[in-house]
Amino acid sequence: MTTTTPDSGPGTTLGWSLAVVLRRWHELTEASLTDIPHGSRGYHVLTAAVHAEPPTQAALAERLLIDRSVMTYLLDDLEEAGLVRRRVDPGDRRVRRVCATERGREVLAGARDRVDRVEERVLAGVDEPARALFRASALRAATSIQESSPTTDPCLAVREVVGGGDGPAGGRGGGRARRGA
């Protein structure tokens, strides 16, 4: 029988640990977000549309590091599902702002609860103080990396860890063929 626990040698601890945690988080999160087009990717777009001034479509793509053409298809599917709508910016008619609908806010509230449960399940083997420290440390590290290297694509990193391509990392739902990153 093969074990999945790495040797305690150098180079296997942090990378292996993060990959295992990310893979499990991603599998469980995608399974819990089947009601949102494109799964976790759609969830992140919906979160940004709810918790901030309505972002422009271009700024949203840049912030979430999603190719602009892919963002268009993603927003088409979220809009078709009644979760967001795109409005013309009154200050610049060429710009579209992404606004969550009331239904989008309701769906996000339920999705947030499910993602919280997934996170608790993924970190169940760790006591609460260590979980809080892990979350805070991961956030600090991610923020630092993003600020120092804004072109780092977290979606590509996830695809590399979970086995990429057009599989689960591309999300679920929406019915549209996946394009680009």
Tell me the CATH number at 95. 1.10.10.10
Count up the domains in the chain and report the number. Answer: 1
Question: pLDDT tens digits for 31-69?
Answer: 999 999 999 999 999 999 998 788 899 889 988 889 999
Distance CA 31, CA 151 (A): 28
**Structure confidence at residue 178 (pLDDT):** 39
pLDDT band at residue 168 under the 50/70/90 scheme: very low
Kindly state whether residue 141 falls inside one of the protein's structural domains. yes
For residues 126-148, one letter each, b for 16 or more C-beta atoms within 10 angstroms of the residue's C-beta and e for the rest, the string is: eeeeebeeeeeeeeeeeeeeeee
């947030």: which residue's tokens? 112
| Residue 177 within any structural domain of the chain | no
Q: How far apart are CA 48 and CA 149, in angstroms?
A: 21
Q: How far is CA 97 from CA 85, 104, 108, in A?
A: 8, 15, 18
- Residue 8 falls within a domain, yes or no? no
The stretch 93-109 carries a mean pLDDT of 94
pLDDT at position 14, please? 86
Residue 44 sits at φ, ψ, to 5 deg, of -65, -40
Indicate whether 47 belongs to any domain: yes
Q: For residue 3, is it within any domain?
A: no
Distance CA 55, CA 44 (A): 13
Q: For residue 10, is it within any domain?
A: no
pLDDT at residue number 6: 57
Q: What is the DSSP letter of 173?
A: -
Structure tokens at 31: 């399974």
> 43 with 49: CB under 8 angstroms?
no
Judged by average pLDDT, the poorest of 39-48, 59-68, 93-102, 115-124 is 59-68
Report the predicted TM-score, pTM, of the whole model to 2 decimal places: 0.74
Domain that holds residue 30: 19-169
Is residue 78 a part of any domain in this protein?
yes
Beta carbons of 47 and 108 less than 8 angstroms apart:
yes
Which tops the pLDDT comparison, 122 or 63? 122
Please state whether beta strands 84-89 and 92-100 pair in parallel, antiparallel, or not at all (unpaired): antiparallel
Place of tokens 């990429």: 164
Q: Which two tokens stand for residue 98?
A: 């992404």
Length of the chain: 181
In a domain, 148, yes or no: yes
Cα(168)–Cα(174) distance, integer angstroms? 13
